[in-house]
Amino acid sequence: MWLVRTFDRLFPAPKYLVRPTVGLDISDQSVKFIELDRRGRRLAVSRYGEKPIPVGTIESGLIKDQAALTKVLAALVAEQKFTQVVISLPEEEAYVVRLSLPIVNPAELRESLELQLEEHIPLPAAEIAFDFEILNQPSPPPRRPTSSDLSLSAFPKNTIVDYLTALAAAGLTPLAAEIEAQAIARAVGRAGDEQLALVVDFGKTRTSFFIVHGEVVLFTATANQIGGEDITKAVQKNLNLTYAAAEKLKIERGLLTIKNQRALFDAILPIVSVLRDEIVKHYFWWESRRSEQVRPDRSIERIIICGGQATLPGLIDYLNLNLDWPVELGNPWTNIFSFEDYIPELNLNQALRYTTALGLALRGLLPKL
């Protein structure tokens, strides 16, 4: 019964929570948490941390060893003493669909979507949990809109139940769950921003691509063949170094060449070039299908790079030189505080690794959620 009651509570989003909120980002290799609380009129970081997850426990977002994941989560609970969290769900299992529906009574909208799920999601409706966001639709007066533009996020129920089972066994209560893309968009996007952005989450073992409008996710994709670990292994092989030495050199020098270190640049370049090509591919995919989109009048206007590998030295400069669109490093503090008011303990590289967890923590604190 606990799982059923909790599952029902996860969708749609919960009402405003006044207590400090912990965002819990569970990935294949680690679990990261961060807690935000209110200090007067601003937000601040209360605590944060990370625990490794044994190899093979989670693969491509699917839990393969419930006991191992429960053990990691239980150890975190024992150390940190928190029990209520907002959690991420793996990007690989998610579906994000843009829809335009005739205007209906808000109370009937969810039921209307349920009837159409199988037209857009390749799973039986009974096996899907979903949530949605209504996109703002400018309509010049005195005309009234005849349709609602929506971003629908759907997820297999059995995968959610697997995560809920591990959380329950560890003594954790999820207040909400959402896909990583939604959390990242909330952290680095700007509410009310009319530009479309392609957000690139450049991680250790994979890279995800999200098209966002403000803080609303319109499209997601994941490339498992691109990640910071691939760069480290390439440096290790090409320069005949230990893994630790290769990782250190990658972090310190990256694409910044100095005398007698052209070999480092040459080792990293093929992987970064694949990243560039994937960005181009997703840009032109969107352009080629603009007529089918909810917002066909909009092109992607900027690229935002975030994730734990985003601060690879020289990466942003390389992408700006080799792409026709402006590329910027994401700021995960955008919607949390200004550096004029507060300087967090985490440096930029750490903060980018915690982008998903920050977006999850924000979900529980912002009144509009």
**CB atoms < 10 A from the CB of 147, how many?**
13
Asked whether residue 137 is assigned to any structural domain, the reply reads no
Per-residue confidence (pLDDT) for residue 234, from 0 to 100: 96
Residue with tokens 């928190």: 82
| Rounded Cα distance, 49 and 259, in Å | 38
**Residue 147 domain flag:** no
pLDDT of residue 17: 45
> Is the residue at 287 inside a domain?
yes
Show the low-confidence residues of the chain (pLDDT under 50): 1-9, 12-18, 138, 296, 367-369
Tell me, yes or no, whether 242 and 181 share the same domain.
no
Residue 108 maps to a domain? no
What's the CA gap between 142 and 64, in Å, rounded? 56
Q: 54 lies in a domain?
A: yes
CB 152 within 8 A of CB 97: yes
- Are residues 166 and 53 part of one domain? yes
- Segment holding 96, helix H or strand E: strand 95-102
Is 0.75 topped by the overall pTM?
yes
pLDDT for 19:
62
Those residues with Cβ within 8 angstroms of residue 186's Cβ, 6 or more apart along the chain or in another chain: 215, 335, 359, 362, 363
End-to-end Cα, the chain, rounded Å: 26
Specify the DSSP element, H or E, that contains 103. none
Give residue 120's pLDDT.
83
| Confidence at residue 368, expressed as pLDDT on a 0 to 100 scale | 42
- The angle subtended at Cα 37 by Cα 31 and Cα 39, nearest 5°, is 150
In this structure, the answer to whether residues 257 and 183 fall within a common structural domain is no
Residues 222 and 322 in one domain: yes
Nearest to 333 by CA among 342, 323, 324, 321: 342
Tell me how many domains the chain contains.
Answer: 2
Q: Say yes or no: 198 and 286 in one domain.
A: yes
Residue 237 and residue 183 share a domain:
no
Q: List the one residue out of 165, 230, 235, 185 whose CA is nearest residue 203.
A: 230
Within the chain, residue ranges assigned H as helices are: 2-10, 66-80, 106-120, 157-170, 180-188, 228-238, 243-252, 262-288, 315-322, 348-353, 355-365
Q: Are residues 320 and 230 in the same domain?
A: yes
Distance CA 369, CA 354 (A): 20
Domain shared by 183 and 197, yes or no: no
pLDDT at 113: 83
Q: Which residues span the domain enclosing 288?
A: 192-330
Q: Are residues 176 and 291 in the same domain?
A: no
Same-domain check for residues 279 and 340 = no
User: Residue 126 falls within a domain, yes or no?
Assistant: no
Q: Are residues 260 and 359 in the same domain?
A: no
In a domain, 224, yes or no: yes
Q: Is residue 123 part of a domain?
A: no
CA distance 352 to 333: 9
Which CATH number do you get for residue 275?
3.30.420.40
Which of the 8 DSSP states describes residue 345?
S
| 289 in the same domain as 252 | yes
